[in-house]
Amino acid sequence: MRLKAVVLYQILAVTAWTTSSSSSSQQKLAAPSPPEPEPIDVFELPLPPVTQNETERGCTRKINPHGTGCIGATTSNLNGGNFLPDGDHVTASLVFTGAPAAPDPASNYQGLHLIIVRVNGTNFPNGDPWKCITCGVPASQQYGLTSTMDYGYPQAFTDGTRILAGSYIIDCGSAQLASAECTPDKVHIYPIRWNTTPAGNGSGGSIRELRKHPDDVHISFNSIAYVGGTMAQYAYFSRLEFNPAPTTGTPLTPRYDLVNVTVLYNSNAQPIFSTNGSHLTIDRQSITVGEARGLSGLGDQVDYLGFPAESCNIDIFGVSLKTGEVVRVTRDPEYVDPIDTSPDGKWVVIMDTTTSHRMMFLAGMRGIPPLVDSLVTGAVSSIRNNGLRRFFQPWLVDRHGAREDKNGSYYMGQQINAVGNEEPGSINDPSWNGGADPRWSLDGTKITYYQMLVTAPDCGGSNPLPCPISTEPGHRHVRLMVANLTSRRPLAVRPIEPVSDTVPWGQKYVPGSSLPDPPSFPFGNFTLAGLVSGYADVSFISDSAGVSLKTVVARYHNYSDDGDNFIAGTEQVTTTYPNLTMIHVDWFSDLHSTGTSRSSKVTSPGGFHFDIDIQKNKFYANGTLITTVDGVTYRQPENGT
């Protein structure tokens, strides 16, 4: 998660990018009226009991009479996953603690494991509402485990027998995971290996953020690379192939190999900014995948975090695997990245920062073209969190995205967990913040998500709330949730035909080959014409070595890309990088717009200067940047929060 910001400032700063070709006015014409809010019933799922004593045998029979494990109040590292195909179970990974030593059978309930949890209020035959899938698996059936592994983003396959978790596939042979036939002796844990050498030797490449395709045979993943001395990230699409007896590469155990790998990078595309003489063009049709976030419900599209379509507004874009056609999936001004599409492709569930208004001081003024974003996307993305605290809440949005309705009010989707009084522990308690990813059930009637309670030292100041005491059992700081979309009729569950291994616009990955070079940046002074009216004078100024972009200056003259917002004024931003993870930004804005709203984005005299470490997500500024939209004022978070 946190490496993403590196990517955004390194990769998106310099490579081609893409946005939907449709301006918001076109989108408005094409999109139907926004849906009315629908009834949503949110409830919490049970988890193993909490022990306050995390030493050996601290998980006593008094705490868990069944001897099936305990978790710590703050150490469980819960990752909620998706639904099994029956819709009656949700997958999750967590860390058990306090188990006795072997040969006590309860010793199996220690450390990192994968569980499934009943959704419908019933129990497994042993009386627990959850079942640990990986506890007690014979050591000879666990391959390639490492001390730093995780089972993040657990994703059950649609056959009910396998789960992708971290970079492992856990299967129960032919037994349904939820059935009594699925016992630990039938479970195998296989590593996934990405070969990166021509000879097929070595341990393979490091992969992250794996997302299963709904066809059960492909995945998307990301990998950090070092290109020209800087850190960057590339996204990939690949087939999973079971290899029962590999002859090269480690681990030399049964494993899944990634074959037919495609780099999701279009080297034939126009760069983000192209120039012709003094004219600057922003290409809204080329493809750049900053970080792949998964595949859409119908399996035809990769969703990804892309270079902003509007300044400082971090959104998800989707690109068709077959045609390379790009759509802008999210549009609202707040930060978004976790996303899942409903199995019929008609809805998305996202996690975003909307309820906190945290990013409005940056992105509340609409229609500013993404010029300074070549410099600030990484820094801006990093402001979304306060340390480990995320400000995510789950939202349900139809596939046409945020837009105005006919009455002129703004639809940004429906907050899924809006019920409650914001009291401690309530469904909409803002101190509980979402993790990645929220997930649809295969029949489209339920969504599962999980949350973490804000924990010291990330509670201080007046923007985040003071540190609360958890009202959950054992004061645990995690909770696993289900939202029942009670008015929806179940969709027919249909298998998805495997898609092609070939992504025509991508670049076939050849093990050992070097990664695509980013295009060079056009330094100089240019004019950018608004798509609807006006223009901007733009200067892209390099560092003294003439290598990297250092400063962007933009002067707007009644500039409009959307016909809704007409922008005037100036903005100038310079960034420096004290080290690999630290960004310092010097920002001067005096922007004003008219049109559907009266907005401004203005820095204090002397400018707005901030530091952010993209791995620490702590914001420190001198000066202010204030955005005002129709009289509503949005300010930056307090320093250190």
Ligand X SMILES: *[C@@H]1O[C@H](CO)[C@@H](O)[C@H](O)[C@H]1NC(C)=O
Q: Which residues bind ligand X (CB under 6 A)?
A: 53, 55, 57-58, 86, 88, 119-120, 122, 178, 197, 199, 201-202, 259-260, 276-277, 405-407, 409, 484, 486, 501-502, 525, 533-534, 539, 553, 558, 566, 578-582, 609-611, 613, 620-622
Nearest to 120 by CA among 488, 484, 491: 484
Single-letter amino acid, residue 99: A
Considering beta carbons, is residue 32 or 139 the nearer one to ligand X?
32
36 near 258, Cβ under 8 Å? no
- Beta-carbon contacts of 592 under 8 Å, excluding residues fewer than 6 positions away, are 567, 568, 569, 599, 600
Instruction: Provide the minimum distance between the beta carbon of 323 and ligand X in the complex, in angstroms, as a whole number.
Output: 18
Question: Hey, what are 226's tokens?
Answer: 């070092």
Considering beta carbons, is residue 202 or 430 the nearer one to ligand X?
202
Instruction: Provide the minimum distance between the beta carbon of 610 and ligand X in the complex, in angstroms, as a whole number.
Output: 5
Instruction: Provide the minimum distance between the beta carbon of 178 and ligand X in the complex, in angstroms, as a whole number.
Output: 6
In this structure, the chain runs to a length of 641
Considering beta carbons, is residue 88 or 638 the nearer one to ligand X?
88
Considering beta carbons, is residue 138 or 420 the nearer one to ligand X?
420
Q: Across-strand partners of 115?
A: 92, 132
Extended strands (E) in 543-598? 549-560, 565-576, 582-595
**Parallel, antiparallel, or unpaired: how do β-strands 549-560 and 582-595 relate?**
unpaired
Considering beta carbons, is residue 54 or 472 the nearer one to ligand X?
54
Instruction: Provide the minimum distance between the beta carbon of 558 and ligand X in the complex, in angstroms, as a whole number.
Output: 4
Considering beta carbons, is residue 238 or 377 the nearer one to ligand X?
238
For residues 313 and 329, give the distance between their C-alpha atoms in angstroms, rounded to a whole number: 13
Single-letter amino acid, residue 362: L
For residues 375 and 253, give the distance between their C-alpha atoms in angstroms, rounded to a whole number: 45
For residues 31 and 397, give the distance between their C-alpha atoms in angstroms, rounded to a whole number: 13
Instruction: Provide the minimum distance between the beta carbon of 123 and ligand X in the complex, in angstroms, as a whole number.
Output: 9
Torsion of the alpha carbons at 248, 252, 255 and 256, rounded to the nearest 10: -20
Considering beta carbons, is residue 224 or 465 the nearer one to ligand X?
224
Question: Hey, what are 569's tokens?
Answer: 């004024």
Considering beta carbons, is residue 41 or 185 the nearer one to ligand X?
41
Instruction: Provide the minimum distance between the beta carbon of 138 and ligand X in the complex, in angstroms, as a whole number.
Output: 26
For residues 587 and 608, give the distance between their C-alpha atoms in angstroms, rounded to a whole number: 5
Q: Which residue is nearest to ligand X (CB)?
A: 202
Considering beta carbons, is residue 201 or 633 the nearer one to ligand X?
201
Tracing tokens 């309930």 back to the chain, one arrives at 109
Instruction: Provide the minimum distance between the beta carbon of 407 and ligand X in the complex, in angstroms, as a whole number.
Output: 4
Q: Across-strand partners of 242?
A: 256
Instruction: Provide the minimum distance between the beta carbon of 237 and ligand X in the complex, in angstroms, as a whole number.
Output: 12
Instruction: Provide the minimum distance between the beta carbon of 261 and ligand X in the complex, in angstroms, as a whole number.
Output: 9
Q: What angle do CA 465, 601, 571 make, to 5 degrees?
A: 125
- Beta-carbon contacts of 537 under 8 Å, excluding residues fewer than 6 positions away, are 525, 526, 527, 553, 554, 555, 557
